[in-house]
């Protein structure tokens, strides 16, 4: 009887030890699984939100300092310029996407962030005192809630010289005071904004597009200057970085990115194959096709769409510049500035492309990358006010071309 009791005790002790071992192994497994899951989550987070070298407080301090400076007047004295409301650090050989917008058109910024993986620089124009205040509050909200913007976006503000932008008071309740995420900021902006044509401001203030372009590309070695309602093809920044990093032969070359426009109801194509399918059924067409066909025709779209498919981004063919071609391009080195006398509508980009040509730059069209403008441009957009602006800038353009002969006396090229 005692032997049987001893055997039972030993059995129960062995069973208890086995159960404890199983429990310990389960705890160890769960601990390892939790650690791996946490590591995966951290890796995914860092993939989508890379760590910014600056904290939220540092970014806000930069914003306050830029606004407290009172800004500086541009060369005409008509506009007040606030540089570096937001700043970004970047490699000197990086390619920056430079754009400009009225306050309402900043809703397009989220789409650019999704497609362009590199640094962005945005010049914002506020035509009224109220818009200047909205721009500062919006910048404050974006810097607070959007890690990607803190890491990759530089932002500048321009307003009429008679106005000064004020430092937003975070204690003051307002449109953006209760927002808690980056998506909420853009959703709120979409509700309060009235996006449209940048230069259709409804005020007697001229939209200084070339001042804004120069401000956005300031300090960049390589820059792609586009309109804010355009979207680059997927992977364009990475392709440009790899191509430009392989050689130093790009000085004096403007690498042309073909531009298209798409019906507003369509999803923006990500790659050339998707673009060509829409192009074949007339859902995509060359940029300015219905408004100013010669302005983009030298890109030679029929040749571009029939290029063989390639993996790597590279220049496909050379195109001699001819008036009135105004391509979108990437160029480094001593790129002429945009002439800031051109405002509102007409000849503001053509004039700069003309000077590139006279200064000795060659134009080479890239094989795979492209830009898409949201919506077709047509003659319905060309109202009498724009016709008057166009005529004024047309006269200025003639004067500008004469000035280039003095500026480049040894050049054999002319516009």
pLDDT tens for each residue of 371-383: 999 999 876 555 5
pLDDT for res 26: 59
Q: Do 113 and 150 share a domain, yes or no?
A: yes
Domain-located, residue 366: yes
Domain-located, residue 15: no
Q: Is 100 left (phi over 0), alpha (psi -120 to 50) or beta?
A: beta
The structure's pTM equals 0.83
Last-in-domain residue among 181, 211, 228: 228
Residue 189: name the closest of 135, 130, 243, 132 by CA: 135
Q: Do 213 and 276 share a domain, yes or no?
A: no
Q: Do 238 and 356 share a domain, yes or no?
A: yes
Range of the domain at 185: 54-228
Question: 100-110, pLDDT tens digit by residue?
Answer: 999 999 999 99
Whether the predicted pLDDT of 196 surpasses 70:
no
Q: Do 250 and 383 share a domain, yes or no?
A: yes
Domain-located, residue 65: yes
Last-in-domain residue among 205, 228, 251: 228
Domain-located, residue 107: yes
Q: Do 270 and 364 share a domain, yes or no?
A: yes
Which of 6-10, 121-125, 398-402 is predicted with the least confidence, judged by mean pLDDT? Answer: 6-10
Domain-located, residue 365: yes
Domain-located, residue 44: no
Q: Is the peptide bond before 324 cis (omega within 30 degrees of 0)?
A: yes
Q: Do 349 and 380 share a domain, yes or no?
A: yes
User: Rounded distance, CA 189 to CA 107, Å?
Assistant: 6
Last-in-domain residue among 213, 228, 243: 228
Mean pLDDT across the chain, nearest whole number? 85
All residues at 6 or more sequence positions from 315 whose CB lies less than 8 Å from its CB, including other chains: 253, 255, 364, 365, 366, 367
Q: Do 286 and 312 share a domain, yes or no?
A: yes
Q: Do 224 and 235 share a domain, yes or no?
A: no
How many domains does the structure of the chain reveal? 2
């Amino acid at each position: 009887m005692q032997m049987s009791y001893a055997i039972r005790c030993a059995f129960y002790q062995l069973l208890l030890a086995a159960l404890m071992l199983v429990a310990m192994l389960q705890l160890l497994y769960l601990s390892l699984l939790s650690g791996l899951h946490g590591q995966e989550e951290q890796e995914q987070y860092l993939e989508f939100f890379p760590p910014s070298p600056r904290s939220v407080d540092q970014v806000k301090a930069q914003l306050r300092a830029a606004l407290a400076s009172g800004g500086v007047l541009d060369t005409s004295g008509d506009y007040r310029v606030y540089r570096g409301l937001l700043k970004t650090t970047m490699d000197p050989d990086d390619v920056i996407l430079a754009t400009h917008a009225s306050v309402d058109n900043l809703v397009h910024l989220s789409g650019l962030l999704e497609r362009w993986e590199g640094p962005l620089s945005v010049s914002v124009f506020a035509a009224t005192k109220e818009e200047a205040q909205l721009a500062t509050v919006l910048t404050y909200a974006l810097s607070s809630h959007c890690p990607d913007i803190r890491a990759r976006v530089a932002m500048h503000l321009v307003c009429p010289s008679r106005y000064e932008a004020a430092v937003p008071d975070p204690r003051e309740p307002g449109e953006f005071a209760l927002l808690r995420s980056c998506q909420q900021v853009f959703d709120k902006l979409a509700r309060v904004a009235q996006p449209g044509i940048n230069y259709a401001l409804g005020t007697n203030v001229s939209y200084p597009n070339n001042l804004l372009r120069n401000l956005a590309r300031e300090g960049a070695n390589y820059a792609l200057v586009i309109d804010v309602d355009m979207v680059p093809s997927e992977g364009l920044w990475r392709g440009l970085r790899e191509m430009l990093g392989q050689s130093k032969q790009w000085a004096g070359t403007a690498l042309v990115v073909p531009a298209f426009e798409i019906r507003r109801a369509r999803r923006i194509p990500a790659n050339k194959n998707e673009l060509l399918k829409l192009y074949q059924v007339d859902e995509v067409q060359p940029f300015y096709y219905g408004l100013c066909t010669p302005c983009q025709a030298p890109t030679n779209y029929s040749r571009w769409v029939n290029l063989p498919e390639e993996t790597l981004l590279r220049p496909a063919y050379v195109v001699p510049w001819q008036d009135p071609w105004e391509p979108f391009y990437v160029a480094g080195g001593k790129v002429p500035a945009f002439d800031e006398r051109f405002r509102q509508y007409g000849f503001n980009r053509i004039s700069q492309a003309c000077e590139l040509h006279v200064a000795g730059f060659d134009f080479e069209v890239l094989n795979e990358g492209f830009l898409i403008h949201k919506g077709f441009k047509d003659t319905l957009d060309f109202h009498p006010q724009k016709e008057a602006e166009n005529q004024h800038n047309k006269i200025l353009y003639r004067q500008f071309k004469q000035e280039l002969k003095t500026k480049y006396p040894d050049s054999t090229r002319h516009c």
